[in-house]
Structure 1
Amino acid sequence: MSSRETTPARGNVIERAGERIANAVERWMPSPFLFAVILSYVVFVVGVVVEGQGPADMVFHWYDGFWAFLTFAMQMVLIIMTGFVIAYHPWVNRGLQRLAAVPTSSGQAVVLVGVVSMALAWVHWGFSLVVGAIFAREMGKAAYRKGIDVHYPLLCVAGYMGLGLTWHWGLSGSAPLLLATPENEFIELGIVDAPLGTSATIFSTYALALTALSIAFAAIVLYLLTPPAERSTGISEYIPEEELFATATDGGADDEVADGTAAGDGAVGESTPESGASGGGTPVPAERIDNSLLLGGLIALTGVAVVAYLFATEGLDALNLNVLNFAFLFVGLLIYTRPAVYRERFGEAAEAAAGIILLFPFFAGIQGMMTGSGLAETMAEGLLAVSSPETFPVIAWLTAAVVNLFVPSGGGEWIVLGPSVLEAAQEMGVPIGQATMAYAVGDAHTNLLNPFWALPLLAITRIRAREMFGYAIAMLLALIPFLAIVLYVLPY
């Protein structure tokens, strides 16, 4: 990237700092997989030096950790895959294209992508991650068409902001949903007597106020980080123009997505891997069954009805990880309806989740070393020991933020560190729900440094981690004073 000159219009301190951080990170940041490998070595050495563990002990802690959270890993994969499938439906794609046509400046474009990503992450982090990536790409295309010079790496960071700020306070937040799940680990450990409903966590006034204030502040920072036209690198520098406009984001022709006839819209008559017919001939009976509206629609409605019944009888407290995945699984089938098309979309979603499937065991191994050696407990107890009822939310945030650098799994971290956090909260008289949500802030915040969860976004936007994470780190740093103040002053 060539050197850039500061202009009065956009040459503010935040924008210049963001540019310097971005340039440094682009030179030095390793790939996400190597990032996980390096962290494995770091935790290994710290466990030996700080906790006095033998090298062989650390190796077996690492091995044991690989298989400790297979159930949770599958839940996380389902969250991202169900979100991916719904996000790639042509109805959603057309809506994003219309929304991308709204901004008239680069700052507006970046802020709109960021706000949409953060708002959707509160609903479903997997949906937000995929929609945020698609929207960043669509916004880059729309800006290119209109001659608006918008910096594509910052657009990609805006599309990732849901994972970097709001996801863990929302409907798919691992920590609050684990507490709401019957017979969860915290009940078995005797820390809580019964499941803690989401009315005390996700839907509390504390969490809702925290979410609204954070989205507003992050939108302002994104606007201030936006470089001027002469220092912006557009989408065509990352995706060749002929490829960018030859196909839509979901792999179908633009006009097919526009008129709803793409395979993702359930069109019959196109050959699929499930069908026994070729070309556009008369479908064979097996193909008719595979594309049956009746078979797909009936089971989809049944699944949606089950979810509706649970919420009708149990209220918002019915929400947990299993209910969330069940709901999105059958909502996706309902909007696609045809089983064969839905299965194809899941095949595409598996590719987007491949990086997470590879990296999750490595980060689970890191967690195994931290847990088995006692390092995680030492870190948590050390931080929480210096807290008071007034500073507890800030310390809980910092605890999660530090551990998330090594183990970017909200639910996995919470299983390990949650007992220490909740026991300390109870000793100080801090409500469990608020302690959980303060912890969730830190777990989301340092996703802006660790590229693990950005893997699907990187695949969709066709950008490398080191090309966008400089601006992600700039966002992380800008959020630190804001989060410290708001967590300290926001009343329970």
Structure 2
Amino acid sequence: MKKIFNKMTKFSVGIMQKYLPDPFIFAIILTFIVFVMALFVTQSSPLAIIEAWSKGLWSLLSFSMQMALVLVTGTILATAPAFKKILGKIASIPKNKIQAIVVVNFISLIACFINWGFGLVIGAILAKEVAKKVKTVDYPLLIAAAYSGFVVWHAGLSGSIPLKLASGGNLLAQTGGALSEAVPTNMTIFSTMNIVIFAIILFTVPFLLGSMNPSEKDTKLVSLDLLNDEQPKAKLDIKTITPAQKLESSVAINYMLGAMGYVYIFSYFIKNGFSLNLNIVNYIFLFTAIILHGTPINVVNAVNSAAKSTGGIILQFPFYGGIMGIMTFVGPNGTSIAAAMSNFFVNISTQTTFPVFTFFSAGLVNFFVPSGGGQWAVQAPIMMPAGAQLGVSAAKTGMAIAWGDAWTNMIQPFWALPALGIAGLGAKDIMGYCLMVLFYTGVVISLGLAFL
């Protein structure tokens, strides 16, 4: 059995290495696919579809900046000397390459369940630190373990769909008239079904990944250049230091600025409780890094170094905005590609199979609309009324959409870009291992949705 599993893993890794192009090419191919699909599904002219694509190109600008800052602020926090010591102690826990994979994935799963932005960055940063300690570990597999924690994000505390259901705001319009009252989180995030699915993934996937360690001859060790993230510190001559250099090297400036930032952080949590979003996560990362780096010029140097890894986000996110524009474009016949995909699964569903088919449809739509909010916008008006008609609870339908949205992120490079930027790898390096996680978690989640 182990030999068969090892062959499957090796085959999966080899396929992805050989055939998965750069994420930018992947986005272009998806663009061409949805363009052709739109011609037939929406019965629109090529010009109308191109206009929808062009409008969508800039729909993710705000989100793109947030994601770039997730990468940059997370990286500058991780490179602060004090924080590196903490990470170093955690990274010292695993003593061999199997333990390294298990620990990184376990922590990433928990972190992503708490908050997806936090988990996405912390997992990759921790993986780099572990690679420094366990030098025999396969580096692509280690980063895959860090990223694979993301498979649970939408079922966790920052899951946008369960939080939208709990908010109760404008649900009637969002769900096509199927839901008028809020659905509390004890029926979604903290339901028995969701907790059991999460627990099975939490206590099995780390060991699944640990068993994927390649043979010694196939192991790809980390390059020392990738691990060298020390920031050069300029030595100032006291005799010739200028007033400007004194300001740049002032510890007091950083501490005062950091204190201002933390006044707001404490105020935020007092008013909102433990409610994390991308903005507050970036805020915490930024002002903690400002304090820990000590001087303004150290912060500047750290940001300049970290910003080099944001190219993928800057280039690719607009194209995914364009893809979303085509996917949600409603043609003269009154339908869109996203609606057609969802309706197909609705038409073949029964009360028992509906949650599972909803999960699969959400996974398929996620390839083209890799956004939790976007997923809800295109699927809720179709899936929620259909679920109600079949006698499936709104909570279960909502969580089926949420799990599907998170599931296919394992082979969708969109969300991997920040982690890959931190790790210094390409998508093809980790997606073979993530494909195995996709297969396994797909079975676990499907069975949970069908029988729990």
Q: TM-score range by the shorter chain?
A: 0.7 to 0.9
Structure 1 position 406 matched with structure 2 position 368: yes
How far, CA to CA, are the matches of 2:54 and 2:132 in structure 1?
45
Which residue is equivalent to 1:363? 320
Give deviations 1:255-280, integer Å, cap 9, x for gaps.
xxxxxxxx7xxxxx978xxxxx9999
Aligned length: 442
Taking every aligned residue pair, what percent have the same amino acid on both sides?
32
Contact 2:174 2:377 in 1 (8 A): no
How far, CA to CA, are the matches of 2:27 and 2:359 in structure 1?
22
Which residue is equivalent to 1:135? 126
SS state at 2:328 partner: helix
Which residue is equivalent to 1:433? 395
Give deviations 1:61-81, integer Å, cap 9, x for gaps.
211222334444455555555
How far, CA to CA, are the matches of 2:187 and 2:203 in structure 1?
23
Structure 1 position 161 matched with structure 2 position 148: yes
How far, CA to CA, are the matches of 1:220 and 1:375 in structure 2?
38
How far, CA to CA, are the matches of 1:185 and 1:295 in structure 2?
44
Structure 1 position 472 matched with structure 2 position 426: no
Amino acid at match of 2:268: V
How far, CA to CA, are the matches of 2:192 and 2:78 in structure 1?
29
How far, CA to CA, are the matches of 2:20 and 2:87 in structure 1?
31
Amino acid at match of 1:360: F
Amino acid at match of 2:196: A
1:391 to 321, 330, 353: 353
Q: What does 1:11-410 correspond to in 2, within 5 Å? A: 12-144=3-135, 148=136, 150-163=137-150, 165-179=151-165, 183=169, 191=177, 192-193=179-180, 198-235=185-222, 239=223, 241=224, 243=225, 249-252=228-231, 281=241, 284=244, 286-287=247-248, 291-293=252-254, 295-311=256-272, 319=275, 321=277, 325-326=279-280, 328-330=282-284, 332-334=286-288, 336-337=290-291, 340=296, 345=302, 348-373=305-330, 374-410=336-372
Amino acid at match of 1:421: M
Post-superposition offset of 1:198: 4.4
How far, CA to CA, are the matches of 2:184 and 2:71 in structure 1?
24
How far, CA to CA, are the matches of 1:279 and 1:434 in structure 2?
70
SS state at 1:412 partner: helix
How far, CA to CA, are the matches of 2:85 and 2:159 in structure 1?
28
Which residue is equivalent to 1:259? none
Distance 1:422 1:449, change over 3 A: same
How far, CA to CA, are the matches of 1:210 and 1:43 in structure 2?
32
Post-superposition offset of 1:437: 2.3
Distance 1:111 1:282, change over 3 A: same
How far, CA to CA, are the matches of 1:279 and 1:132 in structure 2?
44
Distance 1:78 1:28, change over 3 A: same
TM-score, length basis structure 2 = 0.85
TM-score, length basis structure 1 = 0.79
Post-superposition offset of 1:350: 4.2
1:442 to 392, 404, 413: 404
CA RMSD of aligned residues (A): 3.3
Amino acid at match of 1:307: Y
Distance 1:301 1:195, change over 3 A: farther
How far, CA to CA, are the matches of 1:289 and 1:187 in structure 2?
54
Gaps spanning 5+ residues in structure 2: where? 331-335
Gaps spanning 5+ residues in structure 1: where? 1-9, 254-262, 264-268, 272-276
Distance 1:151 1:69, change over 3 A: closer
Contact 1:86 1:127 in 2 (8 A): no
How far, CA to CA, are the matches of 2:404 and 2:368 in structure 1?
13
